[in-house]
């Protein structure tokens, strides 16, 4: 059962890192890293406990537990309309690592990869780790038209990959079928790999619908690497678990060899695979209720922000982050972060290039995956502080 009233602040203050409760003074509300304040589904904790009670933690298969691969393939088949095969999916110790190995596997020094702008820093990180260059492609927020002519102009002789983040963190944009088809057509025309990060794909608000890149047909699927994870939909960030899916033997082998799982240097923890399998097979109702709650929190957050003079915020179609434009306040994102931290005692993420690229300028990001009580308090503090300017 999902219940936002179960939020346990003393535990969060001990355990929630990455700019959150365990890293801020006791009177600060951290709306920073997108990591829910609610505990995970009880079915997940029970599955881990059942496995642990048997007291065997032997080496698992390097390519992942069969139950995990099968439930992941079933998820892609039934929920994403992708003819997925368990044999071409393997668990990784985070979506972050999935992005990283996809970049390492398909990019060489001097290559170029297109990243949307703004977007989470992990894409640039992976591309630069492969000694390649990230080429930013500006994506407007919301339903504003995307300039695909500009995207084509950015494709050059060294371009090897397009990195798609759908839904898009931080703007919450969910790409339409037509938009995905335009990206796909260019990838086919210029023989590019598509890295499709779908970690946010379960967090899409009605009436928007989610479409997976690899569901668009064989020609597209054959060049798409799908990466996903369990940090956002199920609150399992600390278990470090995600999955990578290829759609042909050659791509699978390249990714798997790059992962170093076979050598045991890297690998996905068995307890984390057990948790992720339980999430996929037993937690549908929990996820449904979580999403309903998030939709209410989105509306609360966006409506409060839009009542503040100088702040404009579109309702995100997906993700549980709001990304308001604060240029009307006259403050830069860094100045606003400092003001809110010092005066409102609310921590937010500033729209700085190192977090989200140049396209985030003029914005801050706030996570609303918390209770109505905590969010209302944070919004009141933010409103009072900005209105005093």
Ligand X SMILES: Cc1ncc(COP(=O)(O)O)c(C=O)c1O
* Binding residues vs ligand X (CB under 6 A): 34, 94-96, 120, 122, 165, 169, 197, 199, 229, 231, 237, 242
- Nearer to ligand X among residue 241 and residue 386 (C-beta): 241
Rounded CA separation 135/115 (Å): 6
Rg of the chain in Å (alpha carbons): 21
Q: Which residues contact 243 (CB under 8 A, 6 or more apart)?
A: 68, 72, 89, 90, 91, 92, 98, 227, 228, 229, 276
Given the structure tokens 């994870």, which residue do they identify?
A: 229
For ligand X, the closer of residues 122 and 244 by Cβ is: 122
Do the strands 321-322 and 364-367 form a parallel or antiparallel pair, or are they unpaired?
antiparallel
CB of 156 to ligand X, least distance (A): 25
Residue (94 or 258) nearer to ligand X, CB: 94
Look at the chain and count its residues: 389
Residue placing its CB nearer to ligand X in the complex, 51 or 234: 234
Would you say 321 or 346 has its CB closer to ligand X?
321
Beta strand 89-92 with 349-350 is unpaired
Kindly state the smallest distance separating residue 246's Cβ from ligand X, in Å.
18
Task: Tell me the closest approach of the beta carbon of residue 260 to ligand X, in angstroms.
Answer: 17
End-to-end Cα separation, the chain, in angstroms: 43
Please count the CA atoms within 13 angstroms of the CA of 279 that sit on its side-chain side. Answer: 23
Q: Which residue do the tokens 């079928």 mark?
A: 177
Nearer of residues 293 and 365 to ligand X, judged by Cβ: 365
* Residue 34 C-beta: closest distance to ligand X, Å: 5
CA distance 68 to 277: 5
Tell me the closest approach of the beta carbon of residue 139 to ligand X, in angstroms.
Answer: 13
Are 148 and 189 in contact by the 8 Å Cβ rule? The answer is: no
Q: Which two tokens stand for residue 383?
A: 């409103």
Q: Which is nearer to ligand X, 244 or 254 (CB)?
A: 244
**Which of 72, 65, 66, 62 is closest to 245 using CA atoms?**
72
| 138-143-149 Cα angle (round to 5) | 45
Q: How far is the CB of 377 from ligand X (least distance, A)?
A: 24
Our CB check for ligand X shows the closer of 231 and 370 to be 231
Write the CB contacts of 277 (distance below 8 Å, at least 6 apart in sequence): 47, 65, 67, 68, 71
CB of 166 to ligand X, least distance (A): 9
Least Cβ distance, residue 249 to ligand X (angstroms): 25
CB of 71 or CB of 169, closer to ligand X: 169
Place of tokens 């000694």: 131
User: Measured from the CB of residue 268, what is the shortest distance to ligand X in angstroms?
Assistant: 11
Q: What is the dihedral of CA 74, 75, 78, 80, to 10 degrees?
A: -130
């Amino acid at each position: 059962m999902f219940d936002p009233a179960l939020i346990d602040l003393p535990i969060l203050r001990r355990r929630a890192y990455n700019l959150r409760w365990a890293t801020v003074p006791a009177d600060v509300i951290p709306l920073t890293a997108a990591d829910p304040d609610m505990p995970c589904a009880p079915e997940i904790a029970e599955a881990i406990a059942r496995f642990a009670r048997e007291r065997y933690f032997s080496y698992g298969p390097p390519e992942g537990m069969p139950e995990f691969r099968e439930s992941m393939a079933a998820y892609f088949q039934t929920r994403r309309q992708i003819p997925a095969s368990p044999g071409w999916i393997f668990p990784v110790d985070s979506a972050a690592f999935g992005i990283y190995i996809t970049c390492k596997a398909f990019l060489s020094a001097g290559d170029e990869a297109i990243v949307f702008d703004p977007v989470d820093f992990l894409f640039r990180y992976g591309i630069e780790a492969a000694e390649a260059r990230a080429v930013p492609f500006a994506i407007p927020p919301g339903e504003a038209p995307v300039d695909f002519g500009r995207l084509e102009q950015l494709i050059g002789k060294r371009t090897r990959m397009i990195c798609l983040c759908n839904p898009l963190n931080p703007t919450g944009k969910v790409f339409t079928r037509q938009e995905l088809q335009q990206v796909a057509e260019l990838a086919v025309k210029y023989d590019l790999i598509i890295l499709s990060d779908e970690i946010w794909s379960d967090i899409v608000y009605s009436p928007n619908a989610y479409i997976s890149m690899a569901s668009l047909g064989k020609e597209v699927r054959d060049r798409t690497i799908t990466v996903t994870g369990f940090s956002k939909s199920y609150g399992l960030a600390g278990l470090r678990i995600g999955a990578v899916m290829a759609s042909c033997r050659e791509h699978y082998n390249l990714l798997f060899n790059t992962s170093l799982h076979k050598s045991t240097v890297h690998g996905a923890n068995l307890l984390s695979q057990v948790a992720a399998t339980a999430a996929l097979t037993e937690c549908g109702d929990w996820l449904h209720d979580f999403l309903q709650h998030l939709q209410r929190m989105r509306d609360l957050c966006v409506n409060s922000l839009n009542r503040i003079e100088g702040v404009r915020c579109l309702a995100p179609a997906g993700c549980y982050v709001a990304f308001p434009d604060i240029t009307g306040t006259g403050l830069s994102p860094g100045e606003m972060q400092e003001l809110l931290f010092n005066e409102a005692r609310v921590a937010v993420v500033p729209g700085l290039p190192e977090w989200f690229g140049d396209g985030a300028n003029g914005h801050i990001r706030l996570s609303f995956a918390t209770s109505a009580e905590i969010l209302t308090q944070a919004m009141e503090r933010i409103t009072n502080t900005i209105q005093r300017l």
